[in-house]
Structure 1
Amino acid sequence: MLTALADATHTNCGGKAATLGLLLREGLPVPDGFVVPHGGERGVRVTRPLRAAVARELARLGDPVVAVRSSALNEDTADASAAGQYESVIGARGSAGVCEAIAACWSSANAARVNDYWSRATAGAGASFPGMGVLVQRVIGAEISGVMFTPQRPGEPTRIEAAWGLGLGVVGGTITPDTYEVAAVGSIRCTVGSKRTRIDLAPEHGGVVESAVAAEQQKARTLDDATTAILAELGHRIAEIQGGPQDVEWAVADGVIWVLQARPITASLPALRVSASPFPARALTGTPGSHGKVMGAARLVRGPSDFKAVRPGEIVICPYTDPAWTPLFTIAAGVVTETGGALSHAAIVAREYGIPAVLGVADALNRIENGHRIALDGTAGTITLL
């Protein structure tokens, strides 16, 4: 009824679990866990036998706090990541809480954002749902977490984004992370992000909690050069095992680097903006997130209540985007966020959709007027007020 993570295959457990199972068998530091194999349909209920099996597996692991994540058969592929579209529950505790999280993952297959994503990813043809495994793993109480993109072509650098605490703020785009580039020759370049908040496990009641980061930590590097170099080497090994460039989620706890996820990179990543480059006088700058240039009217979107105001061809200006915002990407001509990095889920989806995006443009909602025509360059990381 349940499959040990080390035994997971794509056929019965989905891509996310299968990849982590392979890396675990290869001796890489992957948190232990188990998988609920897919049932081939949406909305499968958590049966009494499954509840009992989950309780036994949790007891075997020592009843830890766990992450419960989707592992659909159609996500984390070379053609479509479905980054952030299906549900994940971080910090679940006890068999009842874990079973509730498993049901939430299954139910997310019916979410409107998922249907919108696959409609766009399949050019409107739609896609039958092939089934979803659900991955249950021990949560790493991370001091530092982030995302790493291994080189997509020979000679290109490894790109790493990092922040304090769990990696939810990095993948969710709610913070502007530190960015590291490790060149093929080994040199390291770092740009320190603002990192104003962090997300950690809630110590008493399960789940996670967000808190402010002290001013001195906001300005401090999350990773030293030695750890950055080790991460890059780990990325190279994962890419070799997987046979191609990889998008890797990782965490550091007590000096140990853990691999939390690995999947193929689905679209070309823009190069980092060079600070010395000349820009137009009326340009705002941020992190290049998705290639392309577009001109259009700015539409300020501060939250879901503003979604209905967005018109096709407008450029969305927002604080950040999470999976619930994905439907906007089907009508917007471009995206600008106040926080986030190029390795966030929103940036990945923007690249897959082929719409320009610039991330981490500080105070963009106050610096750009609603309806003002702007020119967005997602490759250069600039927004020019026209």
Structure 2
Amino acid sequence: MPTEKLTFQGHAGDILAARLDMPDGPHLATALFAHCFTCSKDITAARRIAARLSAMGIAVLRFDFTGLGHSEGEFENTSFTSNVDDLIAACRALEARGMAPSLIIGHSLGGAAVLKAAPMMESIKAVVTIGAPFDPGHVTHNFSEALPEIVDKGVAEVSLGGRPFRIGKGFVDDVSEAALTSSIAKLKAALLVLHAPRDATVGVENASDIFLAAKHPKSFVTLDDADHLVSRPADAEYAADVIAAWSKRYLKLPEPPKPADVPEGVLRVTEADANGFLQDIQSGPHHVFADEPAKFGGTNKGLTPYGLVSAGLGACTSMTIRMYARRKGWPLTDVSVDITHAKEHGADAADPGAKVDRFQRMIHLTGDLSDEQRERLLEIADKCPVHKTLERSSEISTELA
């Protein structure tokens, strides 16, 4: 996915650092992602969710809140309200690019922030929270031992995730007074609540409270034994897949055009991306993609045309060997065929400068076969119909439909 680094002004005028993950193909919608408390835009969950959504045509803006990651500003001067204001600033930055977000996703305290911010964003059609607290003040338990010092001195340095942060009294007061019930009730968008029952940081009862406070349409999906940060790749991939499948309905993304019924005996190749080389190949109920590598202007989502030719030769060779061994009752356990393709100068060609296609097969046979059986199966490989087609001259006729 193409990723663009960009910046925009946060709530207090500080420059905030962001990444905009764009789809390889058509841009169908835009999402805004809010990271967890003291995290950054580059955590595992954010990166994997962005990759999954961009693969289905949804651009994703993920940014560092004021004072975090690569963004400017002092973290100790921020608050829950300033996070909400940063989200609104991010929304405005996307609108200025003609990419108003229709999906907003928040993780942990970022999830609470999106619930507060979403009613103030007219373009939002779908909201997702991941491990979000129903009471934003819940976050203070992460540094509860420092609360007396914060109240007494106005600020204290705490260690969160092994990193030092200065937490100000303004943050504590603001987050303690924040309430989400009214904002959740005002949502004019579909809501998806993702939460892990074993989340030791934000209990799953928070998900229940958020879900009950929301109006329909709303959905709740468990993340099973994922941790609060959704740090395991498999858990992050699962969350990404759920969000992608769920959001498609509420964002009303355009469906890809359905190919017309292909007559029996016809293989149809249809261009799938006019900006690249991706091809949709359909034959009866079967469907595959063909493409070119990225270095040749493609998106590498399928075999190259010559790769498909090589695949036909390899598959036919394997099938032919298996068919013969089965008929003979020989103990062939497994067969695999490695194919390489190259163009070489043809020594026997009429034109000395002409090149011929050379397909090299390496056949792997396993099983309790005798030397004679192995040699016979090697001979049978040359009986493969595709092999014969490639060896002899073929005629191709072409006409316009």
TM-score, normalised relative to structure 2 = 0.25
Larger RCO of the pair (alpha carbons < 8 Å, separation 6+): 1
Higher helix share: 2
TM-score by length of 1: 0.26
Structure of higher CA gyration radius: 2
